[in-house]
Chain A
Amino acid sequence: GAVVSQHPSWVICKSGTSVKIECRSLDFQATTMFWYRQFPKQSLMLMATSNEGSKATYEQGVEKDKFLINHASLTLSTLTVTSAHPEDSSFYICSARISGREKLFFGSGTQLSVL
């Protein structure tokens, strides 16, 4: 089956620093990837849709200048949390689908802790 790899699996950083999270589709090409954020004991909230070769589409309430998304190739999307603060601490998870199909394949997630 399709595999989505996400790195790092966890990261601890100081407040004010930036953190980059990578999401790769290993055995298929993904023109579209999705980034979700999940706070403890809550649901997965869609942050943005990452489109290869074009700008990401952000959900309402998500700051595009704070959560930078780059989808430079058909197999890689990155999410950069800029100037991270403790309230950005969360579980970030990416997903991708094979073109023309509805099923989403999820990365393993990144637990971000901002001190």
Chain B
Amino acid sequence: GENVEQHPSTLSVQEGDSAVIKCTYSDSASNYFPWYKQELGKRPQLIIDIRSNVGEKKDQRIAVTLNKTAKHFSLHITETQPEDSAVYFCAAHTSNTGKLIFGQGTTLQVKP
């Protein structure tokens, strides 16, 4: 079945710096890749997503890139702020199963 690997597990940056989180997926049939931000005890919040027919998408300080050949996608956060501190999850969706499989998560700490 689908497997999603996410790195790093923890990431600490200074306020204003950029943060990059990387994921790889195993199922070449995956066609939708969302990124979620989750605060403790809360539901995951979708922050950005990308479909397999697009290589890059940007929304203000957040961007996602997708390399279908390498089965690799990344989240880029620029000008980080303390309120960006949270756990971030990548995920991959496969249309033939309808399942959304999550990566292991990255705890991002932005130091003021």
Contacts and interface: CB of A to CB of B under 8 A. Distances in A.
A49 B89 contact: no
B43 interface: yes
Interface in B31-52: 31-32, 34, 41-44, 46, 49, 51
Contacts of A103: 32, 34, 46, 49
A: contact size bracket: 20 to 34
A109 B42 contact: yes
Nearest to B44: A106
B89 A91 contact: no
B102 interface: yes
B: contact size bracket: 20 to 34
27 contacts: A32-B98, A43-B89, A43-B102, A43-B104, A43-B105, A44-B44, A44-B89, A44-B102, A45-B102, A46-B99, A46-B100, A46-B101, A46-B102, A49-B98, A49-B99, A60-B1, A91-B41, A93-B43, A93-B44, A102-B31, A102-B32, A102-B34, A103-B32, A103-B34, A103-B46, A104-B100, A106-B43
The 10 closest A-B pairs by CB, nearest first: A102-B32, A106-B43, A44-B102, A43-B102, A43-B104, A43-B105, A102-B93, A108-B43, A104-B100, A109-B43
